[in-house]
Amino acid sequence: MALLLACCQRWPGQVRAVHIHHGLQAAAEGFVQHCEHWCERWGVPLQVWRVDARAAPGQSPEEAARTARYRAIAQAVQQHWPDVNDIALAQHADDQVETLLLALSRGAGLPGLSAMPARRQRHGLTFHRPWLEVPSAALRDWLTACQVSWVEDPTNTDVRFTRNRIRRELMPALEACFPTIRHTLARSARHAAQAQELLGELAQLDAQNTGLPPRLQALQQLNPARMANLLRYWLGTLDDPAARPSTAQLDQLVHQVQACTTRGHRIEMRVGGGCVRREGDSLGWYNP
């Protein structure tokens, strides 16, 4: 609601909205009604898209909902407003800190520690997150001052979800010890994002020599860390969540490439939700 209000004030008459009904809880119908009320009041064209966001076996509920949401947003925009290229998302500083702590708990590398990027290309659109340095309390205070209501997701109080436990139990304890923890962790995420951007540029330079998909002989000229960086970059260009490798899978793939010294050496191993295979003198990724 804060994002919608801010956009309407900044670009009056130019804003369009998409609401995704994830089909995961009964309260979702109330979310739709709330969006319809305020969009009608402010004269904002609204598209409501209903998706099946149930998680597949082995998939986290958050990932399933996120994947379905981004796909639906892109479909709604491309179908109804093909002239639109920029999408604003409302994640704020608290969301960013929670994402970073989740990444730390999983032993993530720089891509995970970068948390959410302020801008990202996806499905042919540019997604912007202008609130990443703004605490949720500031947004709530502003909405209250503007007499604009919002809806609380009832699942936000369910501590069975790790993110909610971080929000309700861990963050108060951390703030008691380190009062500026939200700002300092958000700054750490920015530092990690800058470092990851440099690694991305390095991978692009290496890809000019290896090609994409990468050629084995060119890959083998890179040291293990640089090879892993290039392989992670290549898999990321596939724009398929199933192509995300675990650390163990990436380490094993580097080992396999280093060991591939003969014409008949076979490479076929599970990576993410698919597999990487040797195809002649190059690698290929397949989602069965």
- Say which CATH number the domain at 218 has: 1.20.59
Residue 146 lies in a domain: no
| Position 268 confidence tier, pLDDT thresholds 50, 70, 90 | very high
Burial 136-145 (b: 16+ CB within 10 A, else e): beebeeeeee
Give the model's pLDDT for residue 62.
83
Tell whether 51 is covered by a domain.
Answer: no
Confidence of residue 7 (pLDDT cuts 50, 70, 90): very high
Assess if residue 132 is contained within a domain.
no
**Which of 269, 248, 247, 246 lies closest to 257, judged by CA?**
269
d(CA 260, CA 240): 26
Over residues 161-184, the mean pLDDT reads 93
148 in a domain, yes or no? no
Residue 57's pLDDT band (cuts 50, 70, 90): confident
In a domain, 181, yes or no: no
Give me the number of domains the chain comprises: 1
Using an 8 Å Cβ cutoff, are 47 and 80 in contact?
yes
d(CA 91, CA 131): 6
H or E element that contains 94: helix 93-105
Q: Residue 59 pLDDT > 80, yes or no? A: no
Strands 46-50 and 86-88 turn out to be unpaired
Q: Per the domain annotation, does 12 fall within a domain?
A: no
Task: Classify residue 269: in a domain, yes or no.
Answer: yes
Q: Is residue 222 part of a domain?
A: yes
26 sits in which H/E element? none
pTM across the whole model: 0.85
> Domain of 249?
211-286
Q: What is the DSSP letter of 180?
A: T
Task: Please say whether the beta carbons of 272 and 243 come within 8 A.
Answer: yes
